[in-house]
Amino acid sequence: MNLTIIAGLLVLGIAGFFTLLYFVPVNLWITAIFSNVRISLISLVTMRIRKVPPKVIVNSLITATKAGLDLNTSDLETHYLAGGHVPSVIKALISADKANIPLSFKQAAAVDLAGRDVFEAVQISVNPQVINTPNVSAVAQDGIQLVAKARVTVRANIAQLVGGAGEETILARVGEGIVTSIGSSLSHKEVLENPDKISRLVLEKGLDSGTAFEILSIDIADVDVGDNIGAKLQIDQADADLKVAEAKAEERRAMAVAVEQEMKAKTQQSRAKVIEAEAEVPLAIAEAFRSGNLGIMDYYKLKNLQADTTMRDSIAEASRDDQVQDKKSDDEEEDED
């Protein structure tokens, strides 16, 4: 029984010792002292209580102190609790200090909390980055399409990292500038002969305003000749004009057909009136017989006159048919010759 109690006490003692070492990181405290970083054990214990890893804070503070930076644990803890990445901020501060770039801890922390990689931003500020634009199509004033591709050399603007626009804005503005400069050229040959003119015009526009980058140079990497857009537009316009003319002609033809149909209707109406009038002739003749105004001999003379008129009409119709047939025969003989 005594051995069991002793073993239990021994286990509890070992567990309590490791628990004490967890809450009181003596090894970190000793490392900090030998690195000339003044920090108390109570501070390390309170870090554990606030769920701040003491190792991250102490190692970052040691790195900063060795690099000659004046930082304190309170700022590092605050940044960690805010969701920041403390080692990245320390590396960025050291890189900026070695490169003589003015960067305070508050600026670096703000950039880091804004979601940007502050260490990468400092590297870009030291070593400029080259951004390749996609193919940008534009049309010169002579109607020839040009396809240009540019290389934009930028470096990070530390002061504009928070709230400044990114690479997408730079690419969009450069593309807009290329389109404007090519579109203002009188001829595509002018652009091909002096591609640096595009660079100068684009740089003069101050495209890096309000962005997180500073444009150092814009170099035209390639310019290719595309389609003749002006000719295509003229062809499309001609096709459109042709369709409009055809539509107007069809409209006039439809109106002519309508007028023709109207005239035919009026002709039929007139013929109906003539037939109606002719139907009244026998009635008038009968009335003339009854009234004594027309005798039997007068009636026979009228019938003979009508017969002569009908005969003459038949002869004239036959003569016209013969003339038409002779003309057709002559045309066929000319075609055979």
pLDDT at position 61, please? 81
Of 114, 81, 68, nearest in space to 90 by CA: 68
Question: pLDDT at position 73, please?
Answer: 81
What's the pLDDT score for residue 17? Answer: 46
Output the pLDDT for position 11.
54
Is 0.75 surpassed by the pTM of this model?
A: no
Q: Which residues, other chains included, contact 276 with Cβ-Cβ below 8 Å and sequence gap of 6+?
A: none
* Residue among 52, 211, 200, 201 at smallest CA distance from 131: 211
Please report the pLDDT score of residue 39 as a whole number: 76
Place of tokens 């001829």: 187
Q: What is the pLDDT of residue 322?
A: 67
Ranges of residues in the chain whose predicted pLDDT is under 50? 1, 16-17, 20, 23
* Cβ-Cβ contacts under 8 Å for 146 (sequence gap 6 or more): 137, 138, 139, 140, 182, 188, 191, 192, 223, 224, 225, 226
pLDDT at residue 10, rounded to an integer: 58
Rounded-to-integer distance, Cα 21 and Cα 13, Å: 12
| pLDDT tens per residue, range 145-195 | 888 888 888 888 777 777 677 778 888 888 888 888 888 888 878 777 777
202 near 215, Cβ under 8 Å?
A: no
Instruction: For residue 234, give the amino acid letter.
Output: Q
For residue 277, what are its two tokens? 């009038």
The whole-number pLDDT of residue 142 equals 82
